[in-house]
Structure 1
Amino acid sequence: MFKLMGNKRLFILLVAIMVFIAVMGFTLGGRGGVSWPEKFVADTVAFGQGLIYKPVRSVAGFFEDIRMLKIIYEENRTLRLTLAQYARDTARLNDLQAQNERLKEALEFTERQKNADNYKYHIAEVIGVSPDPYNSTVKINLGERDGMKTDMAVVTVDGLIGRIVRVTPFTSNVQLITDLNGVEGTKAISATVKDSETDSFGMIESYDKENGLLVMTKIDPGDKQLGEGDTVITSGLGELFPHGLVIGTVVSRDVGQFGLTYNAMVKPAAQFTKLREVFVVEVPEN
């Protein structure tokens, strides 16, 4: 019985070897096409690879897009910082150029004034502006230690803007001439016409805020010198503002109250907004 079983196993082994050799010969031999089992296996493997590759490719592409977005974000951030720095540098350069132009005008102004009078001009920087619309004042960075005193006239390169009304050791408050409408502490400006100082006289006592014009009153009806287009300057007769400071230009002349005197509307020569540098006028003591 055991012998029969051993022969059976040997027989099965021989058959398996013969089948294996036949398959090897079949696969190694030349053939014109691919068998259907090979096609099935190849298609199955390709389908499986496709199922795996597509998600993997999508995930890889997703992370690649994230990496590219991060790179673009960093580049944009760097670009924004560069543009911001460029804008700051450009603004600073423009401000320096504007300041340089203003200082050139200031230098030319002081040179002209040296030839016109013997006043001393202290250049000051405006460091503050009053927010009160009924109290037009500005603060400058010169004070008692710089020789500033109350009632000193203050001008720009264009013309008179006001006078000092308060002094501290390091700063001074300047009341603008646009505040001449009966505000406590304001003083009228004695004025005349340039090149006709001995023939013209008037007082600037108020400011027409609606039209932006100074009102010159008490003009003698016999004064034929003052007319439209004339330059009005300080006369120096009021002993407050020194003689010769430009105030503005006459734009009209009308009969005053009761017809006894004339009034004139004067356009200020100076600008009262965006004040940067101003000059405090010091009159040498005789």
Structure 2
Amino acid sequence: MLKLFKLLSNKRLFILLFTLVLFIVVMGFSLGTRKALSWPENFLRDTTGFVQNVFYKPAGYVAGLFEDIGNLHDLAKENESLKITVAQYTRDKATYNFIQADNERLQKLLKFTQAQKEKYDYEYHIAQVVSLTTEPSNSSLVIDLGSKDGVKTNMSVISVEGLVGVISEVSNFTSTVKLMTMMDSNDPNSQPAIAATAIGKENSTFGMIQSYNQETKRLQMDKIPPGDPIAVGDTIVSSGIGGLYPRGLTIGTVDSVAVGEFGLTSTAIIKPKAEFEDWKQLIVVYTEERTE
């Protein structure tokens, strides 16, 4: 029995020593400089690579799928954001264009009224056009200024280009403007005649504008005295005589001059400065005597 125990002990010792020697040999192979791997190492590496490849590719596909879904979601959100940005830009650009157009128009009106104020002491109020009627028998428009704003009948209404008409009716918040296109010397209800003169000839030119030709779209200036120096190309303005129309309001330019009936007076055909269409804003002229 004792011999058997010693034999087993020696066998265990032998196995331990053999294992230790094998370990040292393997370590020697591993740590030594080699140009190629041993066949066990090759086998282990190939086996590990194959197993990793089997599991890694499907996992990569799944991960890539989720990543693509995430990217699509991000692209969708980015696309929505871009659409909103484009819409905002379009709106802002349109708003900017409106503001720029309004600013240019208002600057033009401001320069005009300031220049006029330096020459004549009038008060100007800008009015928005509410509606426009262009019927031959009733050419008029409505503005958003009324009696609450101090507007009264027969006040002159102008555009930047020239005289447009006069206030014919006034309510609390709006007023009706009778256009110069309604002027008719044979109609007592038409716009009152305008005492006029020519710029640069204020002391020598005089006439009365009292009719408008619907076909030629021209005003007619009558009662021009003999020897009057009025000529083609002259700029015609209101003279202020009679007190109804303020002095110096631009009316138009002379197209032609002809001797009138019986040869006692002359008649001038005037092309209006105002276009009588597509108005958005006009100016009501407040004279000192009308605002009291």
Q: Matched residues in 2 for 1:85 and 1:273: separation?
A: 33
Q: Are 1:203 and 2:208 matched, yes or no?
A: yes
Distance 1:178 1:91, change over 3 A: farther
Distance in 1 (alpha carbons) for counterparts of 2:113 and 2:251: 17
Equivalent of 1:102, from 94, 102, 105?
A: 105
Q: CA deviation at 1:89?
A: 5.4
Relative distance call for 1:85 and 1:257 in structure 2 (3 A) is farther
- 1:237 to partner: Cα distance: 1.1
SS at match of 1:228: coil
Identity, in percent, stands at: 47
Alpha-carbon distance in structure 2 between the residues aligned to 1:112 and 1:227: 26
Task: Please name the residue that 1:174 is paired with.
Answer: 177
CA distance in 2, matches of 1:209, 1:83: 48
CA root-mean-square deviation: 2.5
Residue 284 of structure 1, aligned match among 260, 265, 288:
288
Provide the secondary structure at the position in 2 that maps to 1:138: strand
Report the Cα distance in structure 1 between the residues aligned to 2:198 and 2:134, rounded to whole angstroms.
34
CA change 1:231–1:95 in 2 (3 A) is: same
Tell me which residue corresponds to 1:233.
Answer: 237
User: Shift of the alpha carbon at 1:239?
Assistant: 2.1
Instruction: Specify every segment of 5 or more residues in structure 1 that has no aligned partner in the other structure, as ranges.
Output: 1-74
Structure 1 residues 254 and 83: alpha-carbon distance in aligned structure 2, compared to 1, 3 A threshold = farther
Cα deviation, residue 84, structure 1: 8.1
Q: Distance in 2 between matches of 1:257 and 1:90?
A: 59
Contact 2:231 2:254 in 1 (8 A): yes
Amino acid at match of 1:201: F
Aligned to 1:274: 278
TM-score norm. by structure 2 comes to 0.66
Which of 204, 214, 218 is the aligned partner of 1:213?
218
TM-score by length of 1: 0.67
Cα 1:249–1:88 shift into 2, 3 Å: same
* Whole-angstrom CA distance in 1 between matches of 2:213 and 2:134: 19
**Moved >4 Å (runs of 4+):** 81-92
1:256-284 Cα offsets, whole Å, 9 max, x none, are 12222111111111221111111111111
Counterpart of 2:136 (choices 101, 112, 133) is: 133
1:95 deviates by 3.0
Whether the 8 Å contact between 2:148 and 2:172 is mirrored in structure 1 is yes
One-letter amino acid of the structure 1 residue matched with residue 177 of structure 2: V
Unaligned runs of 5+ in 2: 1-78
